[in-house]
Amino acid sequence: MKKTTVINSELATVIAGMGHMDWLSIGDAGMPVPMGTKKIDLALTKNLPSFIDVLKNILSELEVQKIYLADEIKTDNPEQLSAIKALLPEAEVAFMPHTDLKKNLANTHAFVRTGEMTPFSNIILESGVTF
């Protein structure tokens, strides 16, 4: 049995297959996922699991060098923005309009859906290297 923290088999497979500068996205329960993008649905009910809990779990196994967030998170969900920055203090942060973030989901290896119910709780993680 797997010993590390990501035990969801679909998610572990996607993380294991990522290379430098590949993208993985995590989002709230309402984020639309483009056709053709792999969707790993972890949502059980409202707010379970939370966006931050899923992000923490993924960060336990994925090296991240840059993150992409919606501009709107700055004004509409500053608490979530602070929590994200606290978990990724070394990562470069890029902001874009929410409409562009949604379009960019088509370029990710997968979208991980959470039960999060707060606005603009969506992120694209760009993988780094461990050397």
**Positions at the binding site for substrate:** 28, 98, 120-122
Pairing of strands 64-70, 92-96: parallel
Residue type, 33: V
Annotated binding residues, as ranges?
28, 98, 120-122
Q: Rounded to 5 degrees, what are φ and ψ at 2?
A: -60, 135
- Lookup: tokens for 115: 């039960």
Taking the C-alpha atoms of residue 15 and residue 9, their distance in angstroms, rounded to an integer, is 10
Catalytic residue among 7, 17, 20, 74: 20
Taking the C-alpha atoms of residue 50 and residue 2, their distance in angstroms, rounded to an integer, is 23
- Lookup: tokens for 124: 């694209």
Active site residue 109: no
Pick left, alpha or beta for residue 36 (phi over 0 → left; psi -120 to 50 → alpha; otherwise beta): left
Is the Cβ–Cβ distance between 24 and 124 less than 8 Å?
Answer: yes
Active-site residue numbers? 20
